[in-house]
Amino acid sequence: MATEAERTAILARLDEVETEMKRAGLWLEPLPDPPATGPLDPATGFEAWLQGVFLPNARRAAETDSLPPRSQVGVMAMRQYDHDGAMPEALLLVSLLHDVDRMIEMVARKKRPRKKARR
């Protein structure tokens, strides 16, 4: 279970992700409609997925204390923005998303039952 401070910190970092996407010109206005084949996914466009799927779901998970045991959105961002060469305007965004991963995994580690030491 995440503490109130941990949930607040994760929500604040997610707000920073949104702010950075807007600053870097990666925020989509309006958000594109999901394709006829299904919901937005990273293949639809990473920014659309990040904005329309990841951020709302991550916020809801933090608010309801239902965070997943792992997150790799930082790795996804690193692959996205380093695929065809570095995208300098996305460096801070990638760093913030790695922070989100670390924060989520830190909370998850606390949830895992500790193994009893053998005697």
- CATH 2.160.20 fits domain 4-30+43-111: no
- Compute the mean pLDDT over every residue in the chain, rounded to the nearest whole number: 86
Q: Which two tokens stand for residue 97?
A: 């998303």
Hey, what are 84's tokens? 């065809």
Domain boundaries, the chain: 4-30+43-111
Structure tokens at 81: 């923005």
pTM of the prediction?
A: 0.84
pLDDT exceeds 60 at position 105: yes
Average pLDDT score over residue span 10-25: 96
Distance between CA 20 and CA 25 in Å, rounded?
8
Whether 100 and 58 have beta carbons less than 8 Å apart is answered as yes
- Express each pLDDT in 27-57 by its tens digit: 988 887 766 555 656 556 888 889 988 999 9
